Chain A
């Protein structure tokens, strides 16, 4: 990330009328006027205001923009619940192979056997890792996996006299997507308070279970980085009440090769290939959110599924799924992301995955141990792959979690997730992952300690941070009150900037 004064002008503002960055072939067929080929069809009269720039200017513009970004390739990203591990370069090359990238989804199955095998083998690997029975790779991201999972649960209850089950239970430490997915699937959402230890409280859970309960959605380890020790009792209680268990796989990195949601009694699990399986986040996406199920929900999986044709050594797309909830996405899922995850699993293998989980947990515990004298740790005991510290002591001295986050940027470190989970005040949620060396971990500790000192000695510097980023804190209120969501072509008068206040 480079420091520049002021931002980059927009690509639209760089144009010179008549310039262009792409030259197309001639049609090479008898020319005809669109108005003739499209009789009676209303045609565009004014050309759209797109940029008018040559290729070198386009390349410079986006290269310069890229340099305003922080990224895994340039620095440490201890962003809790996001698993910002290193994204191996081989994965990128593999997903870009023309043998994959140029495949059309409506090619016949005999032309796409390689990718079908890859998808099948990826599914098998994910089933081994999760202990589930069958998976659909279709969901585009974790939240879509959640929606698919909850819709499967809904279909199951509909088929089993459970239409009165209108409630999904989530712990108060849950990701926002859990509640939003359950609501989108038409459920009432009940949040239950965590125990003082930060875990699901069995007696609270029992109190909320009823014939109206459709499911519980939980993350294990949870967003406090704590393993739900009573998980077997939880799934037993849920099943006894006639409800099902949804497992949010956002934190699966912690237990790779150590424990499996299937063995915990989970009925449906989504995975985030862009977290646990090393595919890049791309500035917000694409991800992939495969959803894996046990036998109860197997008939309801989104379709089609890839399956081997018995005895023929070939793979087919199976549309004969009469109980399927249908589709959540066009075609077969984010295949380009699947190729990266498959490459990762192949390269690290059984030992590498297990080691990834162990090292991620080791790194988190190391950071936690080295920070717990200055920052308060709301929950005892070893953590899993992430932990939450509370900056309440710092906030009392005038440096909030947000201020600390912003000050970290000045040191070239991406901040942890802040103000989440909602159950911890001034929360900073730290997930170092397994791909950071000792120097990086130690530097983070040093910087966190330095910032703590600054809060006492030089609070203004922290409160006004960041100072060395391409821009400083944006005026969020202005952005929301006077939304400017696109560039406008200047009329004769000039482009009007938003006005502060």
Chain B
């Protein structure tokens, strides 16, 4: 099936108007040697058969459900039906970037509302119209902080998600920045502040709140330490926790980023999600990406428009604050609608449910012989367990009972740097104390309102069964 709509008659008419005899005449600028005889793909299919083929591929997957406790940067929250009913409207879905404000007030106003939500939750005055995802937003925030400080060194906590660190390091190859890493305290699991590798070269300190082990960081001393050397604190945060936790802005963060996937957006195998970035008003001119502002139209009516575009690539070209053009507007709309449905009370309740269920499951699991918390720091909806066996083997055994018990630490670290990196003893940091649990035994468990109480009970019962008779492995090095 083709979505081209002209028939041969139409084509003859179009060609006739051009005085051309064949469509190939229009391609005469392409050198003969480059012309393709035939595109070597299968012929098209009717819609019914296309559907069948794609549905077969979908059926070959085992989507996650209430018995999935996977998180590690992508969280399964319940999405109210109203969200997709609204975001699937063609008026939002098939609109272009709102460069023509007179014909784009719907998109523009929804982005203004998104900016307000992100600003409210992060406790920072300005939020942009979205970035690609959490990790790239962190990289953009790092670049922004270095422009603001005029420095070229980053200090990244080992509690930043390994994939996000990887994105920061990839982006850092461009301007050839120095990326230092700050170890986690092996007992508490929080970013160690005792030996912070800060100097007057440090432009930004990057931490995650909660961090990639689920631990809630103590942001205030980090902010104070960063500010003491003239650096900025960049915090990657989970909006779903911010109905309960104090906002990063109130705790001294200069820039907050993260992934608004947690609201309104299905996991979708990790994308598309919704990066966001918020900062203080004084740093407005260095914000990457689009911003929507309120103004008045020619008749004096309030309206919305893209503003401060002189920061952006289509105006400033090589001197833009970022190369970003397309962002994640539709995902930002979904997040906004979800937040509007939740409201302040719903957001708090959502946080409480996640928090209480996660702590309940944590308690049940830690009663099982051989299972203990990896670290002692406070956690919100995700926690790291030290198991008496390899986490992958445990996960595999749990899967036979239909349970995805969490993300083994090594799975999150695939192709990336380990969270407890022995290399962190190099450089200016002091060597971390030797770890007591092999990394392969560490499991990250995430609990949301999508995991009902009976799923928690089933998880605990199955885990007890699976782990029964598992002898603790000899304690080696991570």
Contact = CB atoms under 8 A, between A and B. Distances in A.
A4 to B, nearest CB: 9
A352 B2 contact: yes
Nearest to B31: A232
A85 B359 contact: no
Contact of B320 (A23, A50, A180): A180
A112 B267 CA distance: 13
A369 B19 CA distance: 10
A74 B91 contact: yes
Nearest to A112: B61
B101 A50 contact: no
A414 B95 CA distance: 10
B63 A99 contact: yes
Given A183-B319, A474-B305, A55 B93 contact: no
A85 B269 contact: no
Contacts of B6: 359, 362, 434, 437-438
A155 B170 CA distance: 11
Given A97-B58, A176-B314, A284-B326, A58 B3 contact: no
Contacts of B300: 500
A309 interface: no
B34 A259 contact: yes
Nearest to A90: B47
A307 to B, nearest CB: 14
Contacts of B166: 326-327
B34 A232 contact: yes
| Interface size bracket, B side | 35 or more
Given A42-B245, A179-B318, A184-B323, A382 B29 contact: yes
Given A66-B92, A106-B407, A333 B271 contact: yes
A107 to B, nearest CB: 6
Contact of A39 (B10, B136, B378, B416): B378
A31 B291 CA distance: 41
B13 interface: yes
A84 B121 CA distance: 35
Contact of B174 (A97, A104, A185, A226): A185
B64 A107 contact: yes
A98 B57 contact: no
Given A101-B267, A140-B136, A282 B245 contact: no
Interface stretch (A14-22, A207-215, A390-398): A14-22
B159 interface: no
A370 B16 CA distance: 12
A114 B61 contact: yes
Given A437-B10, A476-B295, A484-B294, A87 B94 contact: yes
B167 A330 contact: yes
Given A180-B323, A229-B29, A415-B100, A327 B170 contact: yes
Interface stretch (B112-120, B196-204, B424-432, B461-469): B112-120
A69 B407 contact: no
B113 to A, nearest CB: 6
27 contacts: A22-B341, A26-B353, A27-B352, A42-B246, A49-B344, A72-B90, A99-B57, A101-B268, A117-B60, A125-B41, A128-B39, A140-B136, A183-B323, A285-B272, A333-B270, A343-B50, A347-B1, A350-B38, A362-B11, A384-B26, A437-B6, A438-B13, A480-B308, A486-B115, A497-B302, A498-B295, A498-B302
